[in-house]
């Protein structure tokens, strides 16, 4: 059910005030749409970011600046993958403005492909962290 799309712009991360999440705003264009549409992707700090950081990558330590950069880099990678998973599931094919919630609760079934990607991309992410953040 995947449909081609182009990401024109991404802004974020933003810290949501009443939720333990970071969010990114994507401007998405499909060939059949006359104008781009917004997609907000939320990344759960305890359920998605900390899972990747602690359980999959086993990263700890570093200066506050390194931890900030680490969180920015990993949340962006998670958000990018989540928008691809949602597209494959047909989540925003017909809708115009979409919010992709964390892959917990009613959307927990989508965590499985996200977790599979985390394990597949583990070595690449570790190398990127070494090169970019120094951890």
What is the pTM (predicted TM-score) of this model? 0.92
1 lies in some domain: no
114: domain range? Answer: 6-132
Assess if residue 17 is contained within a domain.
Answer: yes
Q: What is the pLDDT of residues 89-132, one digit of tens each?
A: 887 776 666 889 999 999 999 999 999 999 999 999 999 998 98
The answer to whether position 84 is within a domain reads: yes
Express each pLDDT in 44-89 by its tens digit.
999 999 999 999 998 888 889 999 999 999 999 999 999 999 888 8
**pLDDT given for residue 125 in this prediction:** 93
Give how many domains the chain has, as a whole number.
1
pLDDT of 30 reads 84
Helix 111-120 vs helix 122-132: crossing angle, to nearest 10: 60
Query: Whole-angstrom Cα distance, residue 99 to residue 112?
Result: 19
Within a domain: residue 96? yes
Q: Please tell me the predicted confidence (pLDDT) of residue 48.
A: 96
pLDDT of residue 25: 96
Please determine, for residue 1, whether its predicted confidence score (pLDDT) is greater than 60.
no
Give the confidence band of 2 by pLDDT, cuts at 50, 70, 90: low
26 phi and psi angles, rounded to 5 deg: -105, 140
pLDDT at 89: 87
- Torsion sign over Cα 65, 134, 113, 8: positive
Count CB-CB contacts under 10 A for residue 82.
Answer: 27
**Within a domain: 83:** yes
């Amino acid at each position: 059910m995947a449909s081609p799309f182009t990401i024109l712009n991404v802004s974020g991360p933003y810290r949501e005030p009443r939720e333990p999440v970071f969010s990114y705003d994507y401007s998405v264009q499909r060939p059949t749409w006359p104008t781009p549409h917004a997609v907000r992707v939320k990344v759960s700090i305890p359920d998605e970011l900390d899972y990747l950081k602690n359980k999959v990558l086993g990263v700890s330590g570093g200066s506050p600046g390194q931890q900030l950069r680490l969180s920015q880099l990993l949340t962006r990678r998670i958000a990018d993958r989540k928008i691809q998973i949602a597209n494959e599931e047909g989540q925003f094919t017909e809708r115009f403005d979409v919010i992709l919630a964390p892959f917990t609760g009613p959307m927990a079934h989508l965590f499985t492909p996200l977790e599979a990607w985390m394990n597949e991309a583990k070595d690449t992410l570790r190398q990127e962290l070494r090169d970019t953040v120094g951890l």
